[in-house]
Structure 1
Amino acid sequence: MKTRVITAVVALLVFIPTILLGGTLLEFVAAGLAVIAMSEVVLMRKKLFVSFEAIISMVGVFLMALPAEVWKQWNQFLPVGLRFSSLLYIFILLMLFHTVISRNHFSFEDAGVFTLAMMYIGMGFHFLVQAREAGISVILFGMLIVWLTDSGAYMIGRKFGKTPLAPRLSPNKTWEGSVGGTVVAVVVMTIYTIFFPQAYSLPIMVGIILILSVAGQFGDLIESGLKRYYKVKDSGNILPGHGGILDRFDSMIIVMPILYLLGGMQ
């Protein structure tokens, strides 16, 4: 527990100022975190960091995590007809070509796993940065929903939890904790939205808070399912007592893209 607390304090002391400052610092921190998260998938898949697929997927996830403004700036240096977004598809093609060149030692299933992970992680961190560019109150809106839901679910589930939520994926999670965490997030974030108005009117934002709180819990369960499939306790060990980057950002990289899709980053 002591190690877990120390790690959390150090991480917050580094991450919170990075969020507040934003700009280039946050862009490269987010892209770096995306690469580390992708490397955790590489390890779970039992591939070498120096393998072709690992290098391609980590370069690809780094590029995907960069904000739209950087994409636009780089577009001017690319030939007509080839835009930055097109480069991302090239990485997918390279992955598919590799299934042939490797004589199926790198299978179509492998290509699917790496491509999906690259998009899932890359877009998650991409929209984390986009939320900051939309404003400090926007990114805090998304982050606080995740943190409040997680903390509320843990405390209420520990006190009142009896009914398993998804026993095959995460045995300790309960329906009571899940509902309780969402209620905590909705109540607190409704008050937050009153003081820091967001993209829509308050009733609509309450609905968005509810959707994001539930989505964040799905993000947690998605990563739990990933770990259970690969029979690992944590996605990595870069954060002592907390596991890997995917363990810490699993909800965030689902919530931020959905916040964007719902128009919350206007």
Structure 2
Amino acid sequence: MNDSSWGAPPRPEFWGTPEGPSQGAFPAGPAYDAYDAPPVSRTQPMPVVPDTREDVEVRDERDLGAALPGGPYFRDETPQEPMASPPPVPPVPAQPEKKKAGRDLRSAIGVGVGLGALVLASLFVVKAVFVGVIAVAVVVGLWELTSRLQERKQIKAPLVPLAVGGAAMVVAGYVRGAEGAWVAMALTSLAVLVWRMTEPPENYLRDVTAGVFAAFYVPFLATFVALLLTADDGPWRVLTFLLLTVVSDTGAYAIGWRFGKHKLAPRISPGKTREGLFGAVSFAMVAGALCMQFLIDDGSWWQGLLLGLAVAASATLGDLGESMIKRDLGIKDMGTLLPGHGGIMDRLDSLLPTAPVVWLLMAVFVGTG
């Protein structure tokens, strides 16, 4: 069967002209002519077929379905319902923060009871033993104070003359009275000046000033406890002094922790409040009236009220004074010797300035004998 039996399609004129093949076509020959030659490979544009409205809508829906998860791919698909968001969780109301003591109360109570037993045993058994307890407390307090000064401020207050002179000051006050205490204070200050001369002169004035301050602040004020002990009812006077100071601190802590809202001295001691001061005054006045009425010879309850008021004021000022020192040094406690309390100086802060106040009022009310 030859090609002519299928029928010959009309010759397209763009392949050539009627007179002959166009340029680029296969040449005519006996085996085939220009029309029968295989077509020349050439690129032709695809015809543009306009989209119908239906096709455009279908394609748009497909594109939209591909872009949006869960969207329909065809118009007749039923749109899926969006997933319901979980119900909002109601906020949990914040629980009010409970007030904390800030120290280990068990350790503090245990150490306090132990110290109290030691003081009472030495106070009512042999007076000289209690004087020794005071001297030891003074030496340890001086060591803590001078150590913190050197660590935080590079102030080298000489410890050796301070410790020896401080212990001698307490003993002299008990044996020779107020005159002996003043003489020992003067000699201790002179020893500090001489002892510091063995080192280079740099910062000499700063170091000896700190040394004299330490001699006055710790041993000299503690000497008034020994002066209280020299009276006939000396142990009861010392006990009254200790009880009023402790009761004042306890009242300030109890009332301030429960009702304290207004700060007393926020820049010095943020934990102290005016309500706490009121508690200190109230507790100390009641305790003072009871102690002066039942413990002190020739004492009266109204004297105890005045004594309790003075003790609350001096104890608060003493606590604020040491807080000022510790803030200047950038420390919380003077030491770590007493668990739950800090150092010895952290327990003497209220006692030291209160001792001369109690001694003076006792001398006015009932005399020094």
TM tier, smaller: 0.7 to 0.9
Pairs within 5 Å for 1:147-166? 147-166=246-265
User: Given the alignment of the two structures, is residue 24 of structure 1 paired with residue 24 of structure 2, yes or no?
Assistant: no
Letter in 1 for 2:230: E
Alignment match, 1:58: 163
Letter in 2 for 1:123: F
Alpha-carbon shift at residue 40 of structure 1 (Å): 0.7
Pairs within 5 Å for 1:25-40? 25-40=129-144
Choose 1 or 2 for highest CA Rg: 2
> Highest relative contact order (Cα 8 Å, sep 6+), 1 or 2?
1
- State the Cα RMSD in Å: 2.5
Pairs within 5 Å for 1:89-238? 89-98=186-195, 100-134=197-231, 135=233, 136-197=235-296, 201-238=300-337
Alpha-carbon shift at residue 157 of structure 1 (Å): 0.3
Identity of aligned residues (%): 26
Letter in 1 for 2:220: M
Aligned residue pairs total 254
For each residue in 1:192-230, what CA deviation from the matched residue of structure 2 results, as whole angstroms up to 9, or x when unmatched? Answer: 322234565543442232112211111111111111111
**In structure 2, C-alpha distance between the alignment counterparts of 1:58 and 1:174, rounded to whole Å:** 36
CA contact (8 A) 1:242 1:248 kept: yes
For each residue in 1:136-181, what CA deviation from the matched residue of structure 2 results, as whole angstroms up to 9, or x when unmatched? Answer: 2211211111011100010000111011111122110101101111
CA contact (8 A) 1:198 1:205 kept: no
CA contact (8 A) 1:227 1:235 kept: yes
Secondary structure at the aligned position of 2:261 is classed as coil
> Which range moves more in the overlay, 111-120 or 124-133?
124-133
Give the TM-score normalised by structure 1: 0.85
> Which range moves more in the overlay, 250-259 or 84-93?
84-93
User: Given the alignment of the two structures, is residue 68 of structure 1 paired with residue 182 of structure 2, yes or no?
Assistant: no
Compare the two structures and name the one with the higher helix fraction: 1
Against the structure 1 CA distance between its residues 8 and 196, is the aligned structure 2 distance closer, same or farther, given a 3 Å change threshold? Answer: closer
Alignment match, 1:78: none
For residue 15 of structure 1, the aligned residue among 111, 119, 123 is 119
Against the structure 1 CA distance between its residues 196 and 10, is the aligned structure 2 distance closer, same or farther, given a 3 Å change threshold? Answer: closer
